[in-house]
Amino acid sequence: MGRSPCCEKVGLKKGPWTPEEDQKLLAYIEEHGHGCWRALPAKAGLQRCGKSCRLRWTNYLRPDIKRGKFSIQEEQTIIQLHALLGNRWSAIATHLPKRTDNEIKNYWNTHLKKRLAKMGIDPLTHKPKSDALSPAAAASDHSKTVANLSHIAQWESARLEAEARLARESKLRAVAATATATATATAASARTMLPLLGHYHSFWQVKPTGAAGPSGSTVDLESPTSTLSFSENLFPPITIFEGSNGSGSGSILEGEAAEWKCLSKQPYQMFDTGFSRDGTWLQEYSSSAVTGSSSCADLGAGGFTYLVLDNSDDQNSSDGCGDSNSANGGSSNGEGGENKIYWSSILNLVNSSSPSDCPSVF
């Protein structure tokens, strides 16, 4: 026996809303509030079911809805929160002001999920797909898996802890937004984000899809315990990877077909994320990372993992994002318009002061 439909009444209109219907709904809610959704359509003179009205209001007509393209910061937040919360769109939406869960869900399904998949990251687990590794890397997959398994409980603890924080602390949104949107995150905010970001910490220590590193490369998944022991080790050593296309220049940080170098020799400046789409900021990052000349004073006390997702959506362009990067000569200098930077990981270090912090990836 099937469930009875939400609208028993036949003859109720379905499908796209007309401007007239929108106007009726808007006018009624502005004057009376929505009250009981089920009773609203009749009162508002709409041939719709209450559910449809509620959906139309929450997803479209509400005055505090921001429409249009998602910003880089919003993308970052979605990805990071998705790593934490999974497909709990409404929970994610609470941390993205003026965005609806439906919009976030759609954006994830149509943009971000594909982007992650293209990078060799499982959108469900936010971990690299094992089948995307090179044979040599795949050979070490077992040990990595074992290593991963040994830490799953810890990761889950971190995840649950962070989730509890999310539930308890509405202010996290501001913290997360600050942490991801600016380069001036405080140590406290970084600490708040660590359980989540540690998840990506795990990822960034794994050779990415199509990486051109030496065969036999192994990945030393260091214990994430440090991310949990905040009191003793507030900012655990984190490994920085710089991705390039192998040309030694250009410094494309991109998930696919990139050669990755460990750069975690010393603290690096956390760069402002207000970068232009021509990739200028990344050049700056690269330069500083290689020379180690960045101003560590800018670090403050903070150190946290930072993921930057390029906002470019020119996937069809000849030099667009994704797998075309490996063949574009490494030019990320923005010449020719859209950049080619797709993903990067900027890991801001405090405690890591020795090259030995680098795992034996290469």
Partner DNA sequence: AACGTGATCAACCGCTCCGCC
Partner DNA sequence: GGGCGGAGCGGTTGATCACGT
Q: From the CB of 358, what's the least distance to DNA, in Å?
A: 37
List of long-range contacts for 60-65, beta carbons under 8 Å, 24+ apart: 60/17, 60/22, 61/22, 61/25, 61/26, 61/29, 62/100, 64/98, 65/98, 65/99, 65/100
For DNA, the binding residue among 26, 31, 73, 91 (CB under 7 A) is 91
Contacting DNA within 297-336 (CB under 7 A): 313, 316
Measured distance CA(143)–CA(240) in Å, rounded: 22
Contact 95, 192 (CB under 8 A): no
Q: Which helix (H) or strand (E) holds 128?
A: strand 127-128
> What x-and-dash track marks residues 262-301 binding DNA by CB under 7 A?
----------------------------------------
Q: Give the one residue of 26, 38, 187, 296 binding DNA; rule: CB under 7 A.
A: 38
Closest approach of Cβ 325 to DNA, in Å? 18
- CB nearer to DNA: give 10 or 153: 10
Window contacting DNA (CB under 7 A); options: 106-114, 152-160, 175-183, 219-227 = 106-114
- Candidates 9, 27, 66, 109: give the one binding DNA (CB under 7 A): 109
Q: Residue 169 carries which DSSP code?
A: -
Taking the mean position of all CA atoms in its chain, how far away is CA 358?
24
Binder to DNA among 77, 84, 89, 261 (CB under 7 A)? 89
Spatial CA neighbour of 325 closest among 257, 261, 277: 257
- By beta-carbon proximity to DNA, the closer residue of 54 and 127 is 54
Contacts for 183 with CB less than 8 Å, ≥ 6 apart: 269, 270, 271, 272, 273, 298
According to the binding rule CB under 7 A, does residue 90 interact with DNA?
yes
Q: Is 63 in the site for DNA (CB under 7 A)?
A: no
- The correct pick among 71, 105, 161, 249 for binding DNA (CB under 7 A) is 105
Spatial distance between the Cα atoms of 211 and 243, rounded to a whole number of angstroms: 9
Contact 323, 236 (CB under 8 A): no
Is residue 45 part of the contact set for DNA (CB under 7 A)? no
> Which of 340, 306, 352, 322 lies closest to 73, judged by CA?
306
Interface ranges with DNA (CB under 7 A): 2-3, 5-7, 13-17, 35-38, 48, 50-52, 54-56, 58-60, 67, 87-91, 101-103, 105-107, 109-111, 114, 313, 316
